[in-house]
Structure 1
Amino acid sequence: MVANAEIRELADAEETSAATDLITRVWQAQTPPVPFPFMRALGLAGAPILGCFVAGRLAAVAVGFLSSDPDGPLLHSHVVGVDEQWRGAGLGRKIKLGQRSWCLERGITRMAWTFDPLRTANAYFNLTRLGATGVSYHSDFYGQMNDVFNHGMPTDRVLVHWDLTGSEPRGACAAESTARCLLFQGAAGEPVHGVPDLMTREDVRLRIPRTVPADTSLALHWRLALREVLEPLLRSGFRWTAADQNGTYVLTPPPA
């Protein structure tokens, strides 16, 4: 963790332009994922456009906006990006906690965002490090995108909710290895399905590759296999509650 990092809202057009450039670099996108005019308008409308500054330089950005669902108001965290030179320095967690503080100061007790379930590092960060919960699956949510992470793949996403009312999250939980496995890797790295049982009242687990396969065909095979398992589980009331850094995911059944 960088001790002298400062989290604050972006002050002006110059900082907002720098934030647009940072996000575009992080995603290696052909066009800005969050265009400058839109980000500027969000800030004017009161949305939290937060920057993490190290020695006065912008090192990370978080773009969110106010939303609501049947359970009340929440902050939707649309994009969080950390500049490459600061990866692994704890700035992603620091700026996420900055969003949390922004919410609690305004009486908002929940956050939500989507992420790619094939990316195990993101799953570990969101579910285990922060303590968020996966609640729904969205197939090809954004359609085709032109950045390096999404190009040529369906943009499936899982929506997570983060309860902000507890103490500061410290990532105490880990993926349980004893739960029944519904998806795992075969001898050639291909996805293999276990026997599904949506009526079970026990935790289930999935085991996927630690990193997205470099082979596009195999990566697509995993995308569709994970969709086939995760989507009906979440729709039936299971909640995605834990992930480890090796690609083991744990889902918890609905209350009896």
Structure 2
Amino acid sequence: MVAVRELHALADFERVYALFEDIWGFHPEEQPVNVPMMRALAHSGGYVAGAFDGDLLVGASVGFLAAGAALHSHITGSATSGRGVGLALKRHQRAWALERGLERITWTYDPLVRRNAHFNLVKLGARPTEYLPRFYGEMADAINAGDDSDRVLAVWELSAPHVETLALGGHPVPPPVEGAAVALAAEGGHPVARPAGTATVLVAVPEDVEALRRADPGATKAWRVAVRETLGGLLEAGGRVTGFHDKAYYVVERFQER
């Protein structure tokens, strides 16, 4: 059983930093968080929490208060997958935020990573609201090096009915996709844009972009540009992401002029 608690001791912050370093392999000049920053955030009312399996730190999250009665989750990482560490951290974040009268939690994530999109949209009920090209500039860590740092801003409305249902252990309600057209498809591992005049469209992302970065940087670049143009273009035009279909496609309701 994973237990999540807030952290306040320097020794704990050092453990969190070591965990993040193991996950991302930060470049010395590109550290998104460090021990002094965690100390300052925790002391000033920000969010620093760790997930523990017994005495072993298996995950952690760092966030700060943001405009609009929000907590911005700056960085969250788990040393293991498939054990519910990420979900436990997010549920702790939600409870922490609600206790302080906050209405939402925001964070950024790479829109090409399928498992993150599925987790954020389906398991949590968050929604991407903004496409952010090259948001962090050039990154040199072990995971992101060689790829553009495009991100989407996820907004988790903590008291939205579908979010509360999921938080209580309910099942997600899939968004309707009947009659939807595929605006971006995956064919032979490569992105293919298609005309889509329907009110609801589907935008594919690669099966495993992290493996693709290592095996075929050119294909990774093609996916990056295609998703930036398609998903980013839809959001910029007023489209609204309503879910993630079949663990492969963003579902987007297009803005329709009347």
Stretch moving more, 49-58 or 121-130: 49-58
1:184 deviates by 0.6
Q: Do structure 1's residue 102 and structure 2's residue 96 form an aligned pair?
A: yes
Q: Deviations 1:120-141 (Å, cap 9, x if unpaired)?
A: 1000000111000110101000
Deviations 1:22-44 (A, max 9, x none): 11111122334312211221111
Offset of 1:189 from its aligned partner? Answer: 2.3
Q: Partners of 1:50 and 1:171 in 2: how far apart?
A: 27
Alignment correspondent of 2:56: 57
CA distance in 2, matches of 1:174, 1:29: 37
Looking at structure 2, the residues matched to 244 and 193 of structure 1 have their Cα atoms a distance apart, in angstroms, of: 18
CA distance in 1: counterparts of 2:250 and 2:62, whole angstroms: 27
Match of 2:228 in 1: 227
Aligned 8 A contact 1:128 1:171 in 2: no
Q: How many pairs does the alignment contain?
A: 244
Tell me, in whole angstroms, the C-alpha distance in 1 between the residues paired with 2:246 and 2:18: 29
Structure 1's unaligned 5+ residue stretches are: none
What residue number does 1:112 align with?
106
What is the alpha-carbon distance in structure 2 between the residues aligned to residue 180 and residue 65 of structure 1?
A: 39
TM-score (norm 2): 0.88
CA, structure 1 residues 26+171, in 2 after alignment: closer, same or farther (shift >3 Å)? farther
Q: Residues 80-159 of structure 1: matches in 2 within 5 Å?
A: 80-83=76-79, 86-159=80-153
Distance 2:176 2:248 in 1: 12
Residue pairs, 1:1-256, within 5 angstroms: 3=1, 5-31=2-28, 32-68=31-67, 72-83=68-79, 86-165=80-159, 166=161, 167-169=164-166, 170=170, 172-174=172-174, 178=178, 179-186=180-187, 188-197=188-197, 200=198, 202-212=199-209, 213=212, 214-244=215-245, 246-254=247-255
Contact in 1 for aligned 2:138/2:148 (Cα 8 Å): yes
Q: CA deviation at 1:236?
A: 1.6
SS at match of 1:147: coil
The separation in 1 between residues aligned to 2:255 and 2:46, in whole angstroms, is: 34
Cα offset, 1:94, TM superposition: 0.7
Could you tell me the TM-score, scaled by structure 1's length?
0.89
* TM-align CA RMSD: 1.8
Cα shift at 1:88: 0.8
Calculate percent identity across the aligned residue pairs: 36
8 Å CA contact 1:175, 1:248 repeated in 2:
no
Question: What SS does the corresponding residue of 1:112 show, helix, strand or coil?
Answer: strand
Distance 2:156 2:148 in 1: 25
Distance 1:173 1:204 in 2: 18
